[in-house]
Amino acid sequence: MPDHLSTIGLFRSDQHLTEEGIAACAQALLSERTEDSLQALYAHLETCEACRREVVELYGLIATMPPEDQEVSEQEKNDPSSSATKATPRLHPGWRWSLVALTAVLAFWVYRNTRDEVTSLPPANNAPTPALEQLLSPEQKEDRPVAETKVPEPKQGQPDLYAANFIPSEQLEGLSGEVFRSSGFEVLFPSINQTFSPGAEILFQWKQESGTPLQLIVLNNSGKEVFRQEVSATTWAWTSPKRPGLYYWKLESTEELLYTGKFLLK
């Protein structure tokens, strides 16, 4: 490299052109200058693709820019072709074909690199994402705390559920069979612990001197109310549920409890 070139800052320390060197080459191509001081720049462009690409890009940018501070005469206004001829820089035919070839080479290089990047991508994999435990080494698995797993308790069998339906109610069992009003009131049907088939019709019957309406209430063995009806007569037919079990029934007035009984469905 000539010493006088490096002193004016056209070359960097890595032997590539500086920004001033790129601009000098572009301006020289536009003005078709061939001074001896520029031969070193031209020689470098012939061997350096990176610098050559930057010069071509800058040359294309400058060539498309309109000239600054250009006075347009009346003749130029009337003759657009004359103005366009002056505004368009001339280029030596040899350099013109070199720039065309260089542009084609750069386009091919960009296309090849883009295609290589696309083809180098790994093919899509539709396999499921492995679980975290599969990615751990045996040593890492040993360090991980073992999660406690609760073993579900075995479900109770049907005989256990069937038996639970017949467990007496502590609250209602002590009241069963007692008549809380002795004068003029008597229960006729059903009797204590009388058994019926599930879904059968049960006739509740009693007698009383007064014609006061009563509340007929049926409860299951857990005390949950399953039926309630106000009855004005002394008899009522009720279709029992299909759930086997122990059931309680009560007769109440608006003021007091008159009777509590029980029956079985099985």
DSSP secondary structure letters along 175-189: TTT-BS--TTEEEEE
Tell me whether strands 185-189 and 214-220 are parallel, antiparallel or unpaired.
unpaired
Domains in the chain: boundaries: 3-118, 166-265
- Are the CB atoms for 45 and 58 separated by under 8 Å? no
Q: Which CATH architecture has domain 166-265?
A: Sandwich (2.60)
Regarding pTM above 0.85, the answer is no
pLDDT in tens, 148-205: 556 556 555 556 778 999 999 988 998 888 777 656 788 999 999 999 999 999 999 9
Q: Please report, as a single letter, which amino acid is at residue 124.
A: A
Contact 149, 247 (CB under 8 A): no
pLDDT tier, 63 (very low <50, low <70, confident <90, very high otherwise): confident
Per-residue pLDDT of 107-132, as tens digits, reads 666 666 666 655 555 555 555 666 66
